[in-house]
Structure 1
Amino acid sequence: MFFIDQLFIQQDHHKGNLPLVGRHIIDRIDLETGERLPPSVNQKVLEGSFSTKLTIRCDGTRVRIEGNPSRWQRVDNLFGLQTIDECVEIYNHVLSFYDLPPFTKNTRFSHRQSPDGKSSSLIGNGAEITLIDWTRNHEIGGGKELSFIRGLSSMQIGRGRKPKLYPNGQTCNWGEASTWLMTKIYNKAFELKQHLLKAQRKKEGVSSERLSYITDLINYCESVGVVREEHSLRQALLKRHNLQFYGIVTEQDFYHHLQDIENAMKTIHISHDEHQSIAHQLLESGAVDTLRKANVTMSYFTMWQLGTDLRNILSQSNYYVHKSRLKSIGIDIGQQFDVSRMCPTLRRSEVIDVKPLRVPDWYKMPVVAETNILPFKAYA
């Protein structure tokens, strides 16, 4: 099930005279005519509980909020809000704090007057969505995240959108700089450790209960193997498909644009291979009792792979010691090496089974009434 990860939304109030909200007000004057233009206001950043942030701006006519409503005033957003109405309810609660009118649903729209030669566009009488991110979690099995991400990174998706696999292998995206659509998959446990846990440990006064909850969350994601799928639908796409009108569009209207990863997964079988060095196989089998002995035997194995006849460089007793050790893991150095007949470091290979992530009993699901917590603070 998809839920909303980010929502940028704005609404114009043509009567004006709304409170100015932002960090700075910039007066503007037309240098040719000397005419005073409407003031420009930059955005104000709001901080809520658990280091969550939203940005808000009002220039007297247009009200705009950007942020992640599923994360606002919550420790995490492994699972989030599934409807646009729930997200807007949170934003409207913030607007009321600044005596700004709430975002309202569109009930009708009309064609906007456009310059000659330009195509006509539509304008509604309510709030306009300018960006929305939809996300869902996949459970693929602990330890298989990198294999899954690497497998999908081998494919173009949609209309020839090329993959970009990050150097650490934990993230892959398609269309990163696009004004149309950006799709991303990443290892959720890795992201939680890199950002959420690290940020909470830096803060003073963080309760042991909160850190314990975050640790449990990371352990859960690692144990079941959580890969996050995100689709960022941007303004060009929203306007092209008339998806910007809050109140007229439904959640189902967006789902058609969220199928690229699903379609890719239907056309590719991704396997997860576990590899183990010869030295560690020797240790695990009990053929040796120290890593030093295992490494010595592995060095002779490498020489054998390269075509060396070990009988010519080892004494007879040493030769049979190493031969016995290697035979315990299925390698016979008495035979000539043949790469087509063996894969000595492959421990296990299996097709990755993808399924929706189940919500653990102890997880704190988002509740709008609890997320609308005041006060919060603004900062530069």
Structure 2
Amino acid sequence: MAMRVTPDIISPWFIDRLVCEQTWLDRRLPLIGDKGFISVDLHTGEYDPTAVRTSRTTVQSSYSTSLRVSCDGHRVRVEGNPSRFGRVENLYGFQTFEECIRVYNIVLAKLGLPPFTTGRFSFKTDNRSGAKDRKHLKTYSGCVIKHVDITRNHSVGYRNEYAFLRALSSFSLPNGKKPNLYPNGATVDYSTSRSIGGSSWDYSKLYIKAHELIEHMKKNLKNATDADVEYYKKLIEHCQAAGIVREEHSFKAKKLARYELCFFGHVTVEDLANHFTLTTLDTLTETLEVATMDYITIADQLLKRKIVNSRQAANATANYCHMWLNGQSLYNEDSGKYPRQYYVHKSRLIQLGLDISIPFDATRTALPMIKRQREITVRPHQMPDWYRKPSTRNFVVIHGQAA
């Protein structure tokens, strides 16, 4: 079935998972963690009581939510989802780092630890480098962001979520990241790594929000009130009616440090969104729109859109596409690589919404020679009036510190 996806205005971004650290060298802080580790000199048997490492401890709140906190006496680390902490769900969350850090600082205060702050930059010489090639490392005295997920909601319409994700899963991204449609059809992610969570650089995925809410309903509603249960069910029905698809991008430590997006007080969510080079949804929906023009053949589309200038070139690319549709290998086994013309035809067909670098799957690919039968419009989700907005004052820390 052919499908056209029309993007609307941009949805707002908000923060999901967040990991932060700050080091206090001028003071001795209380040790926080479930376990502690010390370093022992195996030759002398001596140990340094100040050189202690601690594991993370769990700080809990209502609705089975928690944060992980550790302190080795100098370095404080908090990880978790500030938009979810103390809430039954997080369809919408905090849109600024300042709001998220405010949540973390409330928890740190309960544990007798100093708050995360902004700081100053300084430079130090890396003595590990050779004398002629010493590097000057940039350091920051404030809170450093080690990981952050930014996310936004899109409305694709009632019962359109699965078709939308199937269509997205038929395209790879320009930087070589391949799509992976989960067996249940409710999530598609993009990564160059087969490991869970993608590479050590970044990770992107889109998934059906109502499916996720249903899947975690039992855990999220543990010890919930009747009003909470009714609210949660109403939210699921709302997500199903609007066809909510969640778009999520993870920025990991290496990428944040490489582009200097890790310094609290000097980075915003907009900086991350503008820097994000994949532009997953925007790029792919534009391609999907191209893929559904009501032309008769692939060759005609190539000529109509002026992708090629001659019927001979159009027919050559169309023939290459038919080889792909029939499952023929485009890889040259003798040379051990793709022939030069493969990349020429791939570039042309990508503009029609056909990615020949991914094995053809008739259940996912919207062929351009099939006339359009369905149109999906991607719109930003509008928050309902009854939605419980996130707040830094609506959660309770249970027992302060929990093992």
Quickly name the TM-score band, shorter chain normalised: 0.7 to 0.9
Higher mean C-alpha displacement, 161-170 vs 23-32 = 23-32
Equivalence for 2:382: 358
Deviations, residues 157-211 of structure 1 (Å, cap 9, x unaligned): 251111111111111111232111100100000000001x12245x3x4322111
Structure with higher Rg: it is: 1
Equivalence for 2:178: 162
* Separation (CA, whole Å) in 2 of partners of 1:270 and 1:140: 18
Contact 2:59–2:398 (8 Å) recurs in 1: no
* Separation (CA, whole Å) in 2 of partners of 1:266 and 1:33: 66
| Partner SS for 1:51 | coil
More helix per residue: 1 or 2? 1
Shift of 1:256: 2.0
Query: After TM superposition, which residue ranges in structure 1, 4 or more long, deviate above 4 angstroms?
Result: 117-120
Work out whether 1:178 is the aligned partner of 2:199.
yes
Equivalence for 2:287: 267
Shift of 1:111: 4.3
Equivalence for 1:135: 151
Change over 3 Å in CA distance of 1:224–1:144 after alignment to 2? same
* Separation (CA, whole Å) in 2 of partners of 1:47 and 1:271: 48
Q: What percent identity do the matched residue pairs reach?
A: 38
Unaligned stretches of 5+ residues in structure 1: 273-345
Shift of 1:24: 1.0
* Separation (CA, whole Å) in 2 of partners of 1:39 and 1:107: 26
Work out whether 1:248 is the aligned partner of 2:261.
no
Change over 3 Å in CA distance of 1:93–1:147 after alignment to 2? same
Shift of 1:28: 2.3
Normalised by the size of structure 2, how large is the TM-score?
A: 0.71
Change over 3 Å in CA distance of 1:112–1:73 after alignment to 2? farther
Deviations, residues 306-354 of structure 1 (Å, cap 9, x unaligned): xxxxxxxxxxxxxxxxxxxxxxxxxxxxxxxxxxxxxxxx9x9312110
Change over 3 Å in CA distance of 1:112–1:140 after alignment to 2? farther
* Separation (CA, whole Å) in 2 of partners of 1:151 and 1:10: 39
Name the aligned partner's letter for residue 363 of structure 1.
Y
Shift of 1:91: 0.3
Work out whether 1:85 is the aligned partner of 2:98.
yes
Name the aligned partner's letter for residue 25 of structure 1.
G
Shift of 1:5: 0.4
Which fold has the larger relative contact order, with Cα–Cα distance below 8 Å and residues 6 or more apart in sequence? 2
Contact 1:106–1:248 (8 Å) recurs in 2: no
| Partner SS for 2:206 | strand
Shift of 1:112: 5.5
Contact 2:36–2:55 (8 Å) recurs in 1: yes
* Separation (CA, whole Å) in 1 of partners of 2:154 and 2:127: 44
Equivalence for 2:208: 187
Shift of 1:121: 3.5
* Separation (CA, whole Å) in 2 of partners of 1:186 and 1:270: 23
Name the aligned partner's letter for residue 174 of structure 1.
Y
* Separation (CA, whole Å) in 1 of partners of 2:203 and 2:84: 20
Contact 2:30–2:113 (8 Å) recurs in 1: yes
Shift of 1:114: 5.0
Name the aligned partner's letter for residue 213 of structure 1.
Y
Normalised by the size of structure 1, how large is the TM-score?
A: 0.75
Contact 2:146–2:253 (8 Å) recurs in 1: yes
Deviations, residues 207-249 of structure 1 (Å, cap 9, x unaligned): 2211110000000000110000000000110011001111122
Unaligned stretches of 5+ residues in structure 2: 1-11, 192-196, 293-369
Change over 3 Å in CA distance of 1:111–1:255 after alignment to 2? farther
Shift of 1:50: 1.1
Equivalence for 1:369: 393
Shift of 1:257: 3.4
Equivalence for 1:212: 230
Equivalent residue runs for 1:1-380 within 5 Å: 1-37=12-48, 38-111=51-124, 113=126, 115-116=128-129, 120-175=136-191, 176-195=197-216, 197-200=217-220, 203=222, 205-258=223-276, 259-269=279-289, 349-371=373-395, 373-380=396-403
